[in-house]
Structure 1
């Protein structure tokens, strides 16, 4: 059996190799360009919105805004991990502003996200697999009752439709966190959230007729939710879950994470989250360095007999759906048996 001292030294050795390769140095220029391009795209989308006026063509703007909102949220994610600056304060400024731009509470989201990073796919400690509408483990499935049990039985079919509500869920969770005081920057985030909601709804209903405005909001928020969910789900869903807190850091992060192949386009599409193994091992590594760390980490894991998972985007979604279908199978079987016995 490998000792904890030995496994600790393994991660230390990997860290030295990554650090010696210069992959932990900050990339201020990269983020300056990325943030500027995102903000220009956001401004351009709203200029197009005002120029087009009351027209069904606004649905194209809604699609564009869904993509832009996700890219802004990715910057907030990077800031939360101190990938942009070395110290917390300037990162929090960037993250809070970007959270305000998309109508999220940055502080609330990072609190839960940090808990996820500390214990990924842990049945009791990871909030990302503690979702009422879904069952990611057999134990979770058995505990479902009533309508939630019905949803768990059919969760593979319902998964993508449920993602259309993810954007709304993020907004509501942020509002609740602000009202409850579950954020260290309650006043600032409250002001930003209010400006976002009032400005967004005012623009929609001032420029568009009510029917077009409602459809614009539904399309924008639904697609943003699907985009966000589809960016995060391939990383861990369908990977092993654990209740074991004695795993060393290296194995805890690698065994529960999945990379997605695809080059620069997938990297852009997923905001660097396609390099999930490397991101979990080095959460403060700037996004553009993750692709350079990937071959180092993979080679290291192979040399030390640690399973390293990497697949295509399409197969990652297939694995997620297969896992959800499998977790719901006992519930479907139990219902069939009950009907047969009746």
Structure 2
């Protein structure tokens, strides 16, 4: 089952957790105090670069006649769309740049280049997901309501098709997110009229997006409209696949833990920090890969400080890792391909009934709770002192040294 007592699972006392929380608060204050012209210049350069790349790629697609030109333009357009979604749209909608008081770069005004409505995404993501990260029944992003990624989710026969469903979600990711966000908005709507308004808002956004990529730009290409249409379709597909990989690698590899609803009752800010750390996962990336992922290779740092500028996550990560070392906590990260393969293993494994699985529901790579340490002690394996969660996991063989 999922974690019911975060402190017990983390092997930390209340005093330790509160002290750690103060250290995270100090990081936040420091970044807020130093945030300024350097950060504003970064986001403005990023937006300018993305728009130039988008325009140049469309000119290459329309102006060249070779397959090589089409491939170059399509790839560049996919990169431009990924940057807009990951490093700009996602982070702007988190309010990371609201402090600039620039109406163009503000969470309440930015409408991104994808099917979903930004305002619907902000509620589903900023609130439902980030406040209640990996809390069962509260975070709708646990499997996005269609995938089984923990044994706490009951198995159903339809899940035998989960590996195929995963592929379908990957190629249609923007549409899946749009429908997911709409469902969250409708769930909180006070009545049928408001539900209908949200549905109409999504239809209008889809019409604008489809009209731009599949009607307007192909029409502007004249007789070469098919070339532009296929390029736009391919670029959107590549963007969907990349966004899917980044998001899944930050939330579903081994080590990204799940929690019961009881953990958020009377939860302090320090305990919230701890839950964010335990419920998120990073992947290793250099500057280019970090930029292309919207700096979500630092998913742990993003969950700790979702409204701090993304260009600061690399420096924040150094301090977060030092805190993990100090309190003997794991810092869940690894190469991108490894994190994705672990995610795929979970998706394929949990497509099967529990009766065909071997590990217990308290001590499996994708599903763990504090009870796994009790079971170890009962078996006589708990005599070795454990200073913290990292050491405890090493002793159970669930963490690489």
Structure 1-normalised TM-score?
A: 0.80
Mapped to 1, the partners of 2:31 and 2:227 lie a distance apart of 53
Matched residue, 2:350: 327
Task: State whether residues 98 and 107 of structure 2, in contact with CA within 8 Å, keep that contact through their aligned partners in structure 1.
Answer: no
Pairwise CA distance, 1:289 = 0.9
Gaps of at least 5 residues in structure 1 are: 335-342
Mapped to 2, the partners of 1:332 and 1:49 lie a distance apart of 53
Task: State whether residues 18 and 24 of structure 1, in contact with CA within 8 Å, keep that contact through their aligned partners in structure 2.
Answer: no
Matched residue, 1:200: 213
Q: Does residue 78 of the first structure (1) align with residue 85 of the second (2)? A: no
Pairwise CA distance, 1:107 = 0.8
Match of 2:308 among 263, 270, 285: 285
Relative to 1, partners in 2 of residues 1:40 and 1:175: Cα closer, same or farther, differing over 3 Å?
farther
Pairwise CA distance, 1:102 = 3.5
Mapped to 2, the partners of 1:52 and 1:179 lie a distance apart of 46
Map 1:177-192 onto structure 2 (within 5 A). Answer: 180-182=196-198
Worse-matched range after superposition: 301-310 or 72-81:
301-310
SS in 2 for 1:34: helix
Map 1:176-325 onto structure 2 (within 5 A). Answer: 180-182=196-198, 194-206=207-219, 207=221, 212=227, 215-238=230-253, 239-243=256-260, 244-246=262-264, 248-325=271-348
Q: Does residue 13 of the first structure (1) align with residue 28 of the second (2)? A: no
Map 1:97-108 onto structure 2 (within 5 A). Answer: 97-99=110-112, 101-108=113-120
Gaps of at least 5 residues in structure 2 are: 1-7, 186-193, 358-401
Pairwise CA distance, 1:278 = 1.0
Matched residue, 2:172: 165
Task: State whether residues 171 and 241 of structure 2, in contact with CA within 8 Å, keep that contact through their aligned partners in structure 1.
Answer: yes
Match of 1:39 among 51, 60, 67: 51
Pairwise CA distance, 1:264 = 0.8
Relative to 1, partners in 2 of residues 1:324 and 1:37: Cα closer, same or farther, differing over 3 Å?
same
Relative to 1, partners in 2 of residues 1:16 and 1:174: Cα closer, same or farther, differing over 3 Å?
closer
* Count of aligned pairs: 324
Structure 2-normalised TM-score?
A: 0.70
Post-superposition Cα deviations, 1:76-123, rounded to whole Å, max 9, x if no partner, equal 111122211327883774674441x34431111111111111112222
Matched residue, 2:148: 135
Relative to 1, partners in 2 of residues 1:65 and 1:98: Cα closer, same or farther, differing over 3 Å?
farther
SS in 1 for 2:116: coil
Task: State whether residues 82 and 91 of structure 1, in contact with CA within 8 Å, keep that contact through their aligned partners in structure 2.
Answer: no
Post-superposition Cα deviations, 1:124-147, rounded to whole Å, max 9, x if no partner, equal 1111114354211224251x34xx
CA RMSD of aligned residues (A): 3.4
Task: State whether residues 142 and 149 of structure 2, in contact with CA within 8 Å, keep that contact through their aligned partners in structure 1.
Answer: yes
Structure having the higher helix fraction is 1
SS in 2 for 1:328: coil
